[in-house]
Amino acid sequence: VTSRRSVGEKCERFMYEVFKVKVEMPIDKALNTLLRLNLATETCIDGRHGLLAIPCPQAYEALKERWNSLLC
């Protein structure tokens, strides 16, 4: 479980370490999309908000179903 800010910081650090590019991640928009697609959940434990990604096989199935529904 991690916070929105730490996810953004990790993404920015990854982009810099791998591609040597400094970016400012629009993390709120990205996380809102993941939450809307049920690919992540947001929790509140002891007054602290956290994020949890769903397992990859479950995410794959959810995205496949979403894609197939767009084709119909």
Segment 31-63, tens digit of pLDDT: 999 999 999 998 888 888 888 899 999 999 999
Angstrom distance (rounded) from CA 52 to CA 69: 25
Residue 1: is its pLDDT beyond 70?
no
Polymer length in residues for the chain: 72
Q: Looking at the 3D structure of the chain, how many domains does it have?
A: 1
Which domain covers residue 32, as residue numbers? Answer: 4-71
Output the pTM of the full model.
0.70
Residue 2: is its pLDDT beyond 80?
no
